[in-house]
Structure 1
């Protein structure tokens, strides 16, 4: 499990309401010099709601100190949340003003803010600093621009499910600047975005569709259509298809103090509900993939009573331990996939050296994962690099492309027949870990990403304030903006990561404080609440009866018992999160980790039921 930047890996319990958080840009202005403009686009539209973004551009030759965007919405349509701007509402009139950090724009600079809303309508009457958003009427405004952008090139499919297709293309050129793109499914406009990728949803399984893209500039000029690309959606019914993935982590060290073994995955009924198991963790040393605990993985002998299939290990068999037990589990569940995860919070420091020679790293990983002794056990590799080009347990300066370079090398070596996935940061705060790496570029080489949408808050802040460690949404008084699942998912989508390549993370544990008097979130504390294995953390299977939930906030539960305050997910709150994942078109859900659930698998059952 992880804080927004990381997941502890060894001996610990280790490891989106829509929103789009965009960072401060310093790109050339999207309109001609002489005016301040604002370009607003609907980046996603699902009929009953939408997400959008506005980019304010200083097209003058002097610094701009402060900006205000005002707009109106028709009755029945509302903007419910916003980020990177302060929102005020008067009836159907909305005003967005700059926060302090992006108030000043140098000449030619831009900044963006995002929002999500409900209803079918769209904004009208847009003004920026009292003038029309399109700069019309001003000197050199976009009304003087009559040249259309060039057609986008390189349109391609980057992924598909039974109900969606993910597309990407090369940026178009324009004499002034491209402000957005319209994606067409045949003759119908299917999406409008500001970046060079989009996911078109609401499609039918096993059906061929033809897509094109047109570019727009600030003056409303539209390019010719790009070259067309035809894509046939996947056939439905496969539980591993996007939207139905249920991925659980199995912690290698859990066979010791926790006494949790592969057999427990079977006896709890979890094996029938899982599509994938992530085996955590392999180490990263000397620029190579290495085994974590060889005894637990390959040598620990199991008796007949503790073995998955009731057959005891022998002293001379070539493979024992977790790997052999996973092999037996897969034989009992032929559709189940197992992926070997490398890194985690404790071992993420090794990726920096690996990034210096991605090809050599990929070769070492392939040789280990595909070792003939256990090649049939694993169906791919997962990279849990929790703070690339950022600081976590240590600091990394490999650069924003390092994660993508590693995943590209792994994809080349493992090929299309194996899975290549990554667990990534959930820190969506402005300038946070998510802004330090090109996750959209890296996603091109991965089957999916698992943003670790838990451990946002915990008793490492010993005096509080108390806060749920896995909030689905923001809420009044949240200690840190950008620390919630909805903003994490929205920011990744805004950066260009397709929804069909994202899973929602769930923690099968709680985080807690002691010395707390206040029942609601936001109380002060004296330290971490006691836990079975580590202070401040406890399994759901223990908390459900020891400290039952007394309330909910931001889509998750909290509990006050005596002087202790805990937050954790319950079957009910997981149901709400799964509904969110479906509404967002996510690939499914993953969780840390299997041993935290009840013996009859309450939480994983809630995930499966919630995803349908």
Structure 2
């Protein structure tokens, strides 16, 4: 085909005013967590969100692929569990969370939905994708814009953990691979689509931010989400105990550059506009057991028990089972029996949103919706704090 007469702009147009409030919806939440798209509505959160990230699609064979077809578009919803109170029929062309998101967008026309690919478990395929970014981008566009659900999605989000560094798997594609992939996605999706990325928040010298040319990728992205949480946790089973989402450093922090402001300042210093950066918030805590010391820095014997995974618990549970008693570095913690937990509360989130405004950031994002209370108090704190 003939090349377009006008080359597409490399920089997408700025989003219309207001701060972004971006929340992840976990595909698997419809199972044990029993968290459905309807809950975004009943909690009052849909009105406060600007964007929903649907997590995750997979990356296999250098292509974007379906993560869980049953949850995505096959599961039949009863009237009681459906966003609009209308049951799915056996022969309708689209069911599952995709159809529920379509209904949610009808109720809240301001809401945009972005399909997120990768994540901790499914980032291995990005290495192959980086070998042929155009083919990868083409596969992603075909999937996201599939006629069955093209109206549901407003763009694509890349959660590559981590380019030219190690996550669950290690990537050695070089410092330009990420830029090449998102550039190809922008070209294929066009200037009007949303193309975003969640990236490492490792602010240490020579760490994961330094391993990749994120600044070179920034012009192709609407915004960038440094994952400013999970800095510390019971993946180091013996401790030392430390808050998983510190905003600032503090005396005795176990690792240099492992706090939110370090990541934000490093990304800004590389030339990424503050308005393209969103601050990350975790709607969960990380904790240890076998702890005797209340202050951070104590030893532990292993991860504290969690409902779905050891060492992790939702905010909605912790606010009742282990209420925060102290703060450090802009986040909260508590010791309950021999368990030590750190997490963000409405109060600490308010402080983080003040920081985001003072830094000129584009807003905030969080992982993930099901961790909030039934009345959406953490999302309320984000929205109110950015106000």
TM-score grouping bracket, smaller chain normalisation: over 0.9
Match of 1:212 in 2: none
Residue 581 in structure 1 maps to residue 356 in structure 2 = yes
1:366-401 Cα shifts (integer Å, max 9, x gaps): 000000000000000000002101111111111101
Match of 1:401 in 2: 176
Cα deviation, residue 157, structure 1: 10
Pick one of 237, 249, 272 that aligns with 1:462. 237
Aligned equivalents of 2:341, 2:235: Cα separation in 1? 14
* 1:349-372 deviation line (CA, Å, top 9, x unaligned): 110000000000000000000000
Alpha-carbon offset, residue 449 of structure 1 = 0.4
Contact residue 440 and residue 496 of structure 1 kept, 8 A = yes
Q: Which runs of 5+ in 1 are unaligned?
A: 1-155, 162-233
The match for 2:203 among 393, 405, 428 is 428
The superposition leaves residues 195-252 of structure 1 with CA deviations (integer Å, 9 ceiling, x where unpaired) of xxxxxxxxxxxxxxxxxxxxxxxxxxxxxxxxxxxxxxx8xxx5xx3x5100000000
Aligned partners of 2:11 and 2:360: how far apart in 1? 16
Aligned to 1:481: 256
Q: Could you give the per-residue CA deviations for residues 152-201 of structure 1, whole angstroms, max 9, x where no partner exists?
A: xxxx995786xxxxxxxxxxxxxxxxxxxxxxxxxxxxxxxxxxxxxxxx
Describe the shift of the 1:360–1:158 C-alpha distance in structure 2 as closer, same or farther (beyond 3 A): closer
Residues of 2 paired with 1:495 and 1:286: CA distance? 32
Using the alignment, how far apart are the partners of 2:252 and 2:97 within structure 1? 44
| Bigger CA radius of gyration | 1
Q: Contact 1:280–1:340 at 8 Å: present in 2 too?
A: yes
Query: Are 1:308 and 2:91 counterparts?
Result: no
Alignment of 1:390-539 (within 5 A): 390-539=165-314
Distance 2:44 2:161 in 1: 30
The secondary structure found in structure 1 opposite 2:25 is strand
Specify which structure has the higher proportion of strand: 1
CA distance in 2, matches of 1:597, 1:548: 15
Describe the shift of the 1:413–1:160 C-alpha distance in structure 2 as closer, same or farther (beyond 3 A). Answer: closer
- Whether contact under 8 Å (1:541, 1:598) holds in the other structure is yes
Whether 2:99 is the aligned partner of 1:328: answer: no
Query: Which of 257, 275, 282 matches 2:57?
Result: 282
Q: Distance in 1 between matches of 2:162 and 2:98?
A: 28
Is residue 267 from structure 1 mapped to residue 42 from structure 2 by the alignment? yes
- Asked if 1 retains the 8 angstrom alpha-carbon contact of 2:231 and 2:245, the reply is yes
1:496, distance to aligned residue in structure 2 (A): 1.1
- Mapping of residues 119-134 of structure 1, within 5 Å: none
What secondary structure does 1:307 align onto?
A: coil
Aligned length: 379
What TM-score do the two structures reach when normalised by structure 2?
0.96
Q: How does 1:239-258 map to 2 (within 5 A)?
A: 241=17, 244-258=19-33
Map 1:139-154 → 2, pairs under 5 A: none
Show structure 2 runs of 5+ residues with no match: 1-8
Partner of 1:297: 72
Q: Equivalent residue of 2:124, what SS?
A: helix
Taking the aligned partners of 2:40 and 2:13, their CA distance within structure 1 comes to 30
The higher relative CO (CA closer than 8 Å, separation ≥ 6) is in: 2
